Amino acid sequence: MNKKIKNYLNKNDIQLHAEYQKAYKQVLTDYGINPNSTFSELMSTYAGEFSGSKGTIMNVAGDLSNREQSYNLKLQRDIGLDKKYLQLLTAEYDDYLLYNIENDTVVLIEGMNDKRLKEQDFDNEWNSFDDFLEVFFDEIMTDWIWIFHGEGAMLSTAVFTDFEKAEEWIKKYSLSGVLTKMPLNQSVYDWAVEKEMFTPKTEFHKKPGFIQQFTSASLEHFHYKKGESGKKLIGK
């Protein structure tokens, strides 16, 4: 498992007691999941559910342990979900987010469409559970900074690593302008392409003139007028 994700989980999620870790790992192993996989490590180490960019995923080991109430076993019984797939999303969601125990991939199908699942028609697919976790925990995998661009200024005038400090400075001097959250050590263009928020469709989209002016409405940003509290314009 990615070290940064593991550190985050160790800090923010409750670890299972040793006896439960052993029991959960055995449940997964009996189901046919590699005990040395990242999937097994996550599900047999931490308690509760996990929240991220794709919603809330359940602890599948815990789900499989409770055979009478298991959501995954219910899907297998009621709709014939192939046993090689394990649903990650909790029952409140209407989408398939499935882990394939045979090849460690994760697939997304909006609307729990069984026909599309059978035809391997996915809305998204990750080549490994590790790849999926990097997207799922995207916010913690990316280092962010806040850049202030003052009203009427040609260039940005301040950079912060902390939103509260940025807002304190803006209010201190009654400033007007836009405060934008941006990825550190990565261009907005590359970030947007990587996160599939922008797809270059023409050669012009790959030209220096386009890339050097590129910005994204998906970036979280706030507008200030004379230091007044920022109005959130866009964001996650």
Q: Is the pLDDT of residue 36 over 60?
A: yes
Segment among 36-45, 80-89, 196-205 with least mean pLDDT: 196-205
More confident residue, 158 or 118: 158
Per-residue burial over 14-46, b = 16 or more CB atoms within 10 Å of its CB, e = otherwise: eebeeebbeebbebbeeeebeeebbbbbbbbbb
List Cβ neighbours of 91 (8 Å cut-off, separation of 6 or more): 71
Architecture of domain 3-139: 3-Layer(aba) Sandwich (3.40)
Cα gap 5→181, rounded to integer Å: 21
Structure tokens at 58: 């359940």
| pLDDT at res. 38 | 96
Residue 234 is predicted with a pLDDT of 44
pLDDT at 233 over 80: no
Q: How far apart are CA 226 and CA 150, in angstroms?
A: 11
Is the pLDDT assigned to residue 135 strictly greater than 70? yes
Q: 49 CB contacts (<8 Å, ≥6 apart)?
A: 56, 57, 58, 59, 90
Residue range 86-121, pLDDT digits in tens: 999 998 899 999 999 999 999 999 888 889 998 999
Tokens at residue 108, please? 């997304």
Question: What is the average pLDDT across 177-206?
Answer: 91
Query: What pLDDT, on the 0 to 100 scale, is given for residue 230?
Result: 55
Extract the tokens encoding 16: 């299972």
The pair of three-digit structure tokens given for residue 181, joined into one six-digit string: 């959250």
- pLDDT band with cut points at 50, 70 and 90 for residue 232: low
Q: Cα-Cα-Cα-Cα dihedral of 34, 108, 86, 117, to 10°?
A: -110
Provide the token pair at 79: 């709709």
Q: Does residue 236 surpass a pLDDT of 50?
A: no
Residues contacting residue 10 through CB under 8 Å, at least 6 positions apart = none
What is the distance between the alpha carbons of residues 31 and 202, in angstroms, rounded to a whole number?
47
Alpha helices in the chain (DSSP H): 3-12, 18-31, 38-45, 60-65, 71-79, 114-118, 129-136, 138-141, 163-172, 188-194, 208-211
- The pLDDT of residue 130 is above 60: yes
Contacts of 130 (CB under 8 A, 6+ apart): 1, 2, 38
CA triple 97-98-100, angle to 5 deg: 155
Give me the residue spans of the domains in the chain: 3-139, 142-234
